[in-house]
């Protein structure tokens, strides 16, 4: 996709991956609308990004469908159209399944999965009408394997991948070949939401920590949007999850994951919220 003069919505765009992606899009000449729940971060993001191009910011809780549909209309009015939707807003509540209340898991599902139904539905009809657009959904390395301490989070990210693949098939089946879909699958990032989480020593050799959010933003902008790749993974060795699963007997693959340190990788996690509390 040609990004110059294209119009994008980035959810959760005031910090982390979303901020880095918005920055890259503006540098490519796109017009960007950022939605985020954190109003202070939105204000700071607009201050920093406005020097790069035209950027609009709006407080948004993507789990509130009425708010999403209203803001989508505002985005179309302010930008003229929506060519790109980056569903980046995410929520993580680390901990074993029985250790957290229902509300934590319900929030995880609402932010990471249900909200995508609202945001995508809000922009897809016009993308279909023009037969042009690209929806990028942030999945995870945890969308390719089960991760202890991330059961519900991983479930949502598997679902995001399935949703994206299915929507792509719908578009192709309806002859809407100009409407594209991609998922992005980041491993643990050294800073931000997953700060502190890490694989064991063998795992860190094979799947090293992602050093910063711009690595993922680059995968979104250059690989997914500009090159049209379906599911970039960072680091690329995350692809081993899929290849080894198909080649190994199930029991061997599970033992391989334990050797990699997947079973204990969240025990050292503290994340952005816990770090700042």
Would you list the domain boundaries of the chain?
A: 7-276
Predicted local distance difference test score (pLDDT) of residue 276:
55
pLDDT greater than 80 at residue 65 = yes
Q: 6: closest CA among 23, 24, 33, 31?
A: 31
Q: Which tokens belong to 178?
A: 């100009």
Q: Which of 91, 118, 153, 181 is catalytic?
A: 153
Q: Is the CATH code 3.40.50.720 the one for domain 7-276?
A: yes
Residue 96, pLDDT > 60, answer yes
Residue entry with tokens 């192709």: 172
Cα distances (angstroms) measured from residue 251 to each of 69, 119, 247, 276 = 46, 39, 12, 40
Task: Give dist(CA 178, CA 128) in Å, integer.
Answer: 8
DSSP string, 180-216: EEEEEEE--BSSSTTTT----HHHHHHSPPB--HHHH
Question: Contact, 261 vs 199, CB < 8 A?
Answer: yes
**Average pLDDT of 188-210?**
97
Residue 275 has pLDDT above 60, yes or no: no
Catalytic site includes residue 153:
yes
Phi, psi (deg, nearest 5) at residue 62: -65, -10
Do residues 119 and 90 make contact, with C-beta atoms less than 8 angstroms apart?
A: no
Which among 153, 139, 255 has a CA at the least distance from the CA of 202? 255
At 230 the pLDDT is 98
Q: What is the pLDDT of residues 217-272, one digit of tens each?
A: 999 999 999 999 999 999 999 999 999 999 999 999 999 999 999 999 999 999 98
Cα distance between residue 264 and residue 259, in whole Å: 10
Residue 41 has pLDDT above 80, yes or no: yes
169-190 average pLDDT score: 98
How far is residue 93's CA from residue 150's CA, in Å, rounded to a whole number?
8
pLDDT confidence bin for 98, thresholds 50/70/90: very high
- The per-residue pLDDT for 245 is 95
Strands in 179-186's sheet, in edge-to-edge order, are 55-59, 31-36, 7-11, 84-87, 133-138, 179-186, 233-234
Q: What is the average pLDDT across 76-102? A: 98
Question: How does residue 32 score in pLDDT terms, banded at 50, 70 and 90?
Answer: very high
pLDDT of 3 reads 98
Residue 272 has a pLDDT of: 82
Which of the 8 DSSP states describes residue 145?
S
């Amino acid at each position: 996709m040609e990004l110059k003069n294209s119009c994008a919505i980035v959810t959760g765009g005031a910090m982390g991956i979303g901020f880095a992606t918005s920055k890259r899009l503006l540098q490519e000449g796109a017009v960007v609308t950022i939605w985020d729940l954190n109003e202070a971060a939105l204000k700071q993001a607009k201050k920093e990004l406005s020097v790069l191009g035209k950027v609009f910011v709006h407080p948004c809780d993507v789990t509130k469908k009425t708010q999403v549909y209203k803001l989508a209309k505002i985005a179309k009015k302010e930008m003229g159209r929506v060519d790109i939707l980056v569903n980046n807003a995410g929520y993580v509540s680390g901990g074993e399944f029985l250790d957290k209340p229902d509300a934590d898991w319900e929030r995880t599902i609402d932010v990471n999965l249900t909200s995508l139904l609202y945001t995508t539905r809000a922009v897809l009809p016009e993308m279909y009408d023009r037969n042009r657009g690209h929806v990028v959904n942030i999945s995870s390395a945890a969308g390719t394997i089960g991760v202890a301490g991330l059961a519900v989070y991983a479930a949502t990210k598997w679902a995001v991948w399935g949703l994206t693949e299915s929507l792509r098939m719908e578009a192709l089946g309806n002859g809407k070949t100009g409407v594209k879909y991609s998922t992005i699958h980041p491993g643990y990032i050294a800073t931000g939401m997953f700060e502190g989480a890490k694989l064991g020593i063998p795992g860190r050799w094979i799947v090293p920590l992602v050093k910063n959010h711009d690595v993922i933003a680059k995968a979104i902008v250059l690989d997914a949007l500009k090159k049209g790749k379906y599911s970039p993974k960072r680091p690329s060795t995350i692809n081993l999850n899929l290849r080894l699963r198909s080649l190994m007997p199930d029991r061997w693959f599970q033992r391989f994951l334990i050797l990699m340190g997947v079973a204990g990788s969240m025990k050292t996690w503290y994340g952005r919220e816990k770090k700042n509390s």
